[in-house]
Amino acid sequence: MIALPYKMSKEAKDMYKSMTQDWNYANFTMWDFYYFCFSVGFSKRKLTSENKLTGFSNTMEIHYFVFRSEVVAALVSTEIERKGLTMSAENIIAEFRELTDPIDSLSPKGQEILNYYAEGGFRIIAGESQSIRDPVEFMTICEKIVSDESFLDDHHLP
């Protein structure tokens, strides 16, 4: 199987670099940043594909690899909800077939959509603050967005 790149925009990579350049505490990797971004994207069913995305890794970090099945399941259920489909066995199986290959790895389309959710989440986060100082502030903003049920209505996201 060919390794597929995990991608984000230059703006996302720049934000990551600026908030970690003087960070001397716990390790906070680009993969941590990506995970939080796609989690925000999933929670608000927001994907963004109009930006140019470039790869930052061809492999999932081991801390996330052990949870790859959960990431795939979250992607499948989010896509079903975003498309307005019912959570039926038929729809679940159809989405798994489209987004995975084999069952616990993403297909090229699934990888692309995960990247779009990460970028969508990043756009939401960047809309809250362009000058995030460090990973703790970043995670706090992400938690606020994910837990805010009215966020979509307040920010008029599609």
Query: Count of alpha carbons within 13 Å of 27, Cβ hemisphere only?
Result: 5
Return the residue matching tokens 């069952």: 103
Residue range 138-151, pLDDT digits in tens = 999 999 999 987 65
Q: Is the pTM of this model over 0.85?
A: yes
Mean pLDDT of the chain: 88
Lowest mean pLDDT of 6-10, 39-43, 66-70, 92-96, name the range: 66-70
Which helix (H) or strand (E) segment holds residue 39: the answer is helix 30-44
